[in-house]
Copies of this chain bind each other. A is one copy, B any other.
Amino acid sequence: MVEPQAAPAVPAHLTSRMTLAVRFCETDLMGIVHHANYLTYFEAGRVDWLHRRGISYDKWVEKGIHLPVVEAKLRYKKAARFDEILVVETTCVDITRVTVRFGYRILRGGDVLCEGETLLACVGQDLAPKRIPPDIDAVFRSPETT
């Protein structure tokens, strides 16, 4: 499991944080957030990470650049419950010519509820692999601009 906070090569400016409230529909009969929803929290964190660098992901989609998730790992530590305010901490931890890796921590106050990572691959509209364009590569290395 990647532990972004321990990776010396990842500068602090590659981490961003957003908050979200747990929705009722995201709970299950155990009374806690269903585990599949954390992948959507990670995704929301990633979209927000880009927003904070001036990028709307749908602009890339319009240009035919997609970044599907090709690998995901999650480690669940504590349960989240309905209406709790969570922080999604998203870090761009690695970038290659064709992939970019993000690490995540879902926090409630000082508690880490879940941590994980996703590997995204750059593909075109036809889902074939594609080199990450230089302007997009630059975004993944940049600090928040807003």
Which A residues are closer than 8 A to B by beta carbons?
1, 21, 23-25, 27-32, 34-37, 39-40, 43-44, 47, 56-58, 61, 66, 68-77, 79, 81-83, 127
13 A-B pairs with CB atoms under 8 Å apart are A21-B47, A24-B28, A24-B34, A28-B29, A29-B30, A29-B82, A58-B83, A68-B76, A70-B75, A70-B77, A71-B74, A72-B76, A73-B74
| Interface residue SS majority, chain A | mixed
Cα distance, A71 to B75, chains bound together (Å): 4
Contacts of A27 in B (CB 8 A): 28-29
Cα distance, A21 to B35, chains bound together (Å): 20
